[in-house]
Amino acid sequence: MKILKNIIIKGKHQKPIVTDVFYQETLKPKKVVIFCHGYKGFKDWGAWNLMAETFANAGFFFIKFNFSHNGGTVEQPIDFPDLEAFGNNNYTKELDDLESVIDYISNSYKYKNEVNYEDISLIGHSRGGGIVLLKANEDSRVKKVITLASVCDFGKRTSTYGDLGEWKKNGVKYVINARTKQSMPHFYQFYEDFKQNEERLNIQKATENLEIPHLIIHGDNDTSVFINEAENLKKWNPKAAYQTIENANHVFNVAHPWKENFLSKELKETVGYCIYFLNSKV
């Protein structure tokens, strides 16, 4: 298997997009899968590398990346050494970053014998699920989209970051990362950017407008993003395939760090549904 780690893609926002690709060198074009991590996530979290290898072994060209302002750096792509960048992240930056990754693989001759440029699918976890739905709705290069434990509404999350007046006055509010114990900043620009782009960031509208195949997967024991959000996505897109994973939590029963050399039963099941869906003729 060919694994290229920490490739630098130049984004639109002065920070690099650190990217990995996984594929089997066969000199035959493969379906492309681009994976987007969620809030307080990163490309090397938990079992995501094992997941990437599973997709590559199944014949896909798999790409995962850190959003440019996720808080990681080129030197330290794991965790959050750059909290200033984290505080300056927002949804439209993430949409731009995803577009830059799609552009990278669409325009790259480096992989020309390995990539089917006409078959690009997106997978997003949690907040990344909302991002891939928005991008799939606005970019015709995307042929299928999968949401894993996805949020269905950016608006309620953006406006419930505590007291808006206090946030505006102070210019910043903090969220404690339970795992790293860091106080992670959210600068007020996050709210301003959402309000300025509220129409574009409407996940319900994007989901209702989808004209490509969509697979919704959610754990029935998810206490971070409740399963009713998946039910909303299905309601808004009745044609979508819908699968619950029994006993799965928000991260499909893996954790960071993940010391095992195999996927959890729940994540293995999830990846199996994804591969079936991506290979199907729907």
Domain ranges of the chain: 2-152+206-279
Contact assessment for residue 93 and residue 67, using Cβ atoms and an 8 Å cutoff: yes
Residue 158: pLDDT above 80?
A: no
User: What pLDDT score was predicted for residue 12?
Assistant: 97
Q: Which of 62-66, 137-141, 173-177 has the lowest mean pLDDT?
A: 173-177
Tokens 């971070």, residue located: 224
The average pLDDT across 156-163 equals: 71
Q: Helix, strand, or coil here: 115?
A: strand
Amino acid type, 77: P
Cα dist from 256 to 124, 138, 187, 250, 282, whole Å: 18, 33, 26, 13, 34
The average pLDDT across 143-154 equals: 98
The structure's pTM equals 0.98
The average pLDDT across 28-49 equals: 98
Q: For residue range 189-223, what is the model confidence (pLDDT) as tens digits?
A: 999 999 999 999 999 999 999 999 999 999 999 99
* Average pLDDT value over all residues in the chain: 96
* Sign of torsion over alpha carbons 134, 135, 138, 144: negative
Residue 105: pLDDT above 70?
A: yes
Q: How many helices (H) and strands (E) does the chain have?
A: 10, 10
| Cα-trace Rg, the chain | 18
Cα dist from 28 to 110, 117, 160, 278, whole Å: 13, 12, 48, 17
Q: Which CATH number fits domain 2-152+206-279: 2.40.160.50, 3.40.50.1820, 3.40.50.10140, 3.90.550.10?
A: 3.40.50.1820
User: What pLDDT score was predicted for residue 154?
Assistant: 96
b/e code 10-30 from CB counts within 10 Å (16+ = b): ebebebbbbbbbbbeeeeebb
Q: How confident is the model at residue 160 (pLDDT cuts 50, 70, 90)?
A: low
Tokens 């790409």, residue located: 63
The secondary structure element, H or E, covering residue 270 is: helix 265-279
User: What pLDDT score was predicted for residue 156?
Assistant: 83
User: What pLDDT score was predicted for residue 109?
Assistant: 87
Cα dist from 72 to 103, 115, 155, 262, whole Å: 22, 28, 25, 25
Cα dist from 50 to 26, 53, 253, 262, 272, whole Å: 20, 5, 14, 7, 13
Q: For residue range 69-78, what is the model confidence (pLDDT) as tens digits?
A: 999 999 999 9
User: What percent of the chain has a predicted confidence (pLDDT) above 70?
Assistant: 99
